[in-house]
Structures are given as structure tokens and as C-alpha cells.
A = this chain, B = another copy of it.
Amino acid sequence: MVIIGSGFGGLFAAKRLKRADVDITLISRVSHHTFQPLLYQVATGILSQGEIAPATREILKRQKNAQVLLGEVGEIDLEARTVTSAIGPHRRVTGYDSLILAAGAETGYFGNDGFEPFAPGLKSIDDALELRARIYGAFEMAELEPDPDAVEAWMTFVVVGAGPTGVELAGQIIELSRRTIKNDFRHIDPRKARVILIEGGDHVLSSFGAHQSVKAQEQLTKMGIDVRLQGLVDAVNETGVEVRYRDGRVEHIASRCVIWAAGVQASPLGKQVAQQSGADVDRAGRVKVQPDLTLPGHPEVFVLGDMIALNDLPGVAQVAMQGAKFSAGKIRARLEGKPEQEAFSYFDKGSMATISRFRAVANVGRLELRGFIAWCAWLFIHILYLVGFQEKVSTLGHWAVAFIGRSRAERTFTLEQARGSLTNEREPRVPGTG
């Protein structure tokens, strides 16, 4: 069988099939498993990429029925039951009896793909390192700039979208400007950096319910974040963003560092299999799967996590992990001739988002936690779910440095990133191949 993707869905499906009588080929375009909920900490200099992105094949090395292949899947043929993957000139066709499609989602711009160079998202290690260079680099550029307006534009950070990722990024940027780097500069005062959080809806963290949202917004405002609700971004370019508010006002915000946390777009592989099977896709490219996560007419093909539109399930790790468990269970039941579960049902273990060090919001069942208690729950859960023991230990160390101390151990960005991200003059390092 074939699994596409090494995220929470793909990796956990493979692990769930450890004792099953199947040969698993896991294909992914990256060689690591990305612990996406902590990407914002790589972007803001707390964690290294290794701490949240261990090599997939290392995680699965003792699972002898699983092999891991690096490659970008271009084509899935549901009739022939083959997957074609490639890296450079290497092209490979892999047959399957069962397929688990868990290729995740990318940042979505609602049709405005031209925003991307000026407002990258945060879905991958590449993104996180790019944002790290842009955030720390913006202060470097501000320090150099003689023109006060230009300084202000470099020191204005716009985060579009106030879901957990947007809130966490905004919180981290304001904290690093107020704590980590406050004494590092001579011409600018980093504490004067503005962080503007733009949200199209009526609330920040709207999935947490109105009460939690209001409290979270109070906290964000108290930290110095400028929260703008009911605002849609009409344009993004190298001068900043244009925001249209619901009341008709239009505002241009001068900013040299815009981050897009407003939407996701499922992997285009979803649309591809939907077309072949007659399934629908929604506006975000997610596949309307059957109640058992399969494609219509194709009980051998499961779609997981961020790629599915089913019962308004959120795009969180738990949906992918529980979907992985469910589909692995069905595959095992078929192999063993046992009855299969008919429909996937999601058990909401709760959701949480950090707002600042020592503060978070968490909803667990009907329980609404806030502040330090919620943050402790966040700490506990994230340590628990980090994949390996060594990642747990080194992450705890880096958290101690950042949360108890003031510094951040992983601020480093490369020369190539400095040239590219800060000046829009990125050059390929290998001459003649760009």
C-alpha cells in the first residue's frame, strides 16, 4: 500500500499499521515529519528545525514493513492504482492496493496568489526559516535605514488572520521585540515595533467561542498588539497591505513584513482524485469524502486531515491522527476479514493556542481554560506529543531559555535568505540552473 505525506496523517497511519500484514511505501516531498503546531517557534527563533522536524525514516526505522521514499507526487491514477512521484529527473511509479492520501495543505490566498512573495505563510520548515529571516531581518534593515517612514515600515509587522497560528505569531513577534532584542540596537528601539493582527471575522480565535475570544483579544491588546477585526486584505505588495473594513473604510498599512495566516489550500492532489472519482471539492480544495474517509466508488482510497471536507472538521493535528487511526483500522479489518467501522467519528480532545509566554487559551470539552493554567496544559500536551525523547529534552531546554530567560537560541538566518528575503534579490546558489 502507499501513503502520501509524512505529516500527522501519513506518519501515524504508517505507525498504526506496524503489525499489519502490509508493505507500506510512504512517499513525501520532504524527508522529515513536521510538527506543525510549533512551526511558529522555529519562525521566531526559539526552536531549531531539527527539534520539530525529525527525519521520517528515523521515526520508522524499526518498522520493517514500512519504507520511506523522497519524492513529489505528481499523478495518482485511481483506475490503474498507481502513484507517480518524482524528484528532479528521477520518476517512479508505485502501485498500490490501498492508498492513504495525506498530503496536507499549503497556504491559501483565496485566488490572490500574487500576494505570496510579499506575505508568505507558515506551513513548512521552508516557510518557518523564511519567516525567521524576514522577522529578524526587518529589524536589521530598520537599524540601517535613515528615513523615519522607511524605519516605521520595517518595524510594522502585519499578521493576516487571527486563528491560532496568527495569534501565536503576533504574540511571539511582540514578545521578541519587547524582550529578546530590546537592547540589541543603537538607532532603533525594537520595543516600538508595531504588530497588527488583521482578522476578517468578528473575533480573534473564533473557534474557541465568544467568551474566550473576547478574553484573548483583551490579552493581545494589553501586550501591545493592534487587533483589527472585520478587515479584509485587498492587496499586498512590497509597500504593505491594503485593508478594506466592513464599514467601508479602506486603509493602507505600510509594512515590510507581512505574514499570511488567513487561509489554507489543500494539496492539489485532492482535486485530482476528486475529479477521477466524482467527489466534490470545496473552495479550499478539500475533498468531500464519504463518511468513512474514502472516495466515492473507491473504498481503497482514504483521504485524511487537512485534505478533507467532512462535518466541518477543523484543520488540526487531531483530525489527521484520528483519521489515520480509523483508516488503518479499516485496512487491518479488511486484511483480517473482520467487520469494518462504517463512519469516522471525531473525538474533540480540545484545542489550545498560546498567546504569550505563560498565557494560553484552551477548550477541553465544556471546560474553558485561560492564562497560566491553560499554558501549563499547552506545555504538557506539546511535550507529550513531540516525537522523540531527545526532541523533548532539547525543546524543554530552549523553552527555558526563551520563557524564563530572555534570549532565543535560534535566531540565525543565512546569507542567501538575507539577500533574498530582505531585498527581493534572491539568487539561486547554483549558477545557471535558476
Contact = CB atoms under 8 A, between A and B. Distances in A.
B92 A415 contact: no
A87 B130 CA distance: 17
Contact of A57 (B124, B185, B413, B428): B185
Contact of A423 (B62, B87, B421, B425): B87
Interface stretch (A10-18, A29-37, A199-207, A359-367): A29-37
A49 interface: yes
A178 to B, nearest CB: 15
Number of copies of this protein chain within its complex: 2
Contacts of A371: none
Interface in A383-415: 388, 390-391, 393-394, 397-398, 401, 405, 407, 409-415
B88 A422 contact: yes
A105 to B, nearest CB: 15
A310 interface: no
A418 B184 contact: no
B90 A184 contact: no
A223 B291 CA distance: 56
A181 B125 CA distance: 22
A129 interface: yes
Contacts of A141: 70, 87, 90
A140 B425 CA distance: 31
A206 to B, nearest CB: 31
A419 B70 CA distance: 11
A124 to B, nearest CB: 6
A71 B419 CA distance: 10
A92 B412 contact: no
Contacts of A116: 431
A58 B182 CA distance: 10
| Nearest 4 interchain pairs by C-beta | A88-B423, A48-B48, A50-B410, A67-B186
18 contacts: A29-B415, A31-B137, A31-B411, A45-B50, A50-B410, A55-B136, A55-B184, A58-B407, A67-B186, A70-B141, A70-B143, A88-B423, A390-B409, A393-B397, A397-B397, A427-B434, A428-B434, A434-B434
A252 interface: no
Nearest to A425: B88
A140 to B, nearest CB: 4
A423 B72 CA distance: 13
A433 interface: yes
B418 A31 contact: yes
